[in-house]
Amino acid sequence: MKLRTVTLTILLAALVFTCKNDDDDDEVVVVPARDRTEVYEENKAAIDAYLDTHFYNYDEFDFDNPYSEANDSFQVVIDTIAGENSDKIPLSQRPELIAKQVADAEEEDLIYTMYYLMVREGEGDVIHFTDRAYLQYTGTLLDGTIFDSTVTPVGLNMSTVGSDFGVVDGFREGTIEFKTSVSNSENGDGTVTYHKHGIGAIIMPSGLGYYSLTLSKVPAYSCLVFTLRTPGVIYLDHDSDGVYSYLEDLNNNGDFSDDDTDGDDVPNIIDIDDDGDDVPTIWEDLDNDGDPTNDIGANGIPNYLDPTETASNQDED
């Protein structure tokens, strides 16, 4: 579907997903933006009602053995509490449902509450906000309308860096709470089973989704629900300087734009000389151990962030 930005206008309006099928002819319309706080209050009421009136298939998951092979094929399915399902426990009362606060990208004083359903965290690698995660997911509206889905894992960049397209904020903030699989096995029919990956769901207000964008199956200001599994991840190095991008978020605030060691207005994540000493970061692996984050000067500052420690003055020592 609509996981990729289509025009510059859309890119500036909101971060959209990166994956888009070739046969997808979704038409994207940007409508005049409403007051973000007002929209959030409406979204919050809708999400609260959704959580109270919907459940997921928790009785099909073996909580006593969460990382069993049987659970590896489990997929979250959310449905309405009604009829033969009238005795189900609503999402709002499930201990797996976790609230998370995220600031609005446009108005930092506006703090959204989104939710992720942690059915199983996963036992593999951590997924960072700068990584490319490989995911299986289904996206729906609160009324159950499916607007996107994938069966096999799709690689999605969690953030917009350089020429990368990123995902919407709520999807990223939910996905990074999970970990990947530890292994996989072929089933002999062309399919693959992943083992011990994360399993869950994400529920977000429109301010963390497409907000005022209107897509063919997603009206403006729609709350979004994603069920997902997290098979894998690739740790990206956006400037190819030998330091994974997630390590270049020095203050660990989830924002790479404010980490600029040499003050040259180029964030470290896309700066090939982070400390401005005219020695490329990747060359500051002075003891040739393949790790440019070492500290030859033993002053508590890694070489690639310390302009006083370069290959030349190390040779002089």
If one compares 295 and 221, the residue with the highest pLDDT of the two is 221
Residue-wise pLDDT for 158-210, tens only, equals 988 755 578 999 999 999 999 999 999 998 888 899 999 999 999 999 999 99
Task: Compute and round to an integer the Cα radius of gyration of the chain.
Answer: 22
Q: Where are the domains of the chain?
A: 8-234, 237-317
Give the model's pLDDT for residue 287: 67
**pLDDT bracket for residue 23 (50, 70, 90):** very low
pLDDT at 289 over 80: no
Residue 314 CB neighbours (<10 A)? 14
- Rounded to whole angstroms, how far apart are CA atoms 168 and 15? 5
Give the model's pLDDT for residue 188: 87
Give the rounded percent of residues in the chain with a pLDDT score beyond 90: 69
**pLDDT bracket for residue 286 (50, 70, 90):** low
Average pLDDT over the chain, rounded to an integer = 87
pLDDT at 92 over 50: yes
Give the model's pLDDT for residue 296: 77
Per mean pLDDT, which range of 12-16, 95-99, 218-222 is the poorest?
Answer: 12-16
Residue-wise pLDDT for 32-77, tens only, equals 789 999 999 999 999 999 999 999 999 999 999 999 999 999 999 9
**pLDDT bracket for residue 218 (50, 70, 90):** very high
Q: What is the CATH number of domain 8-234?
A: 3.10.50.40
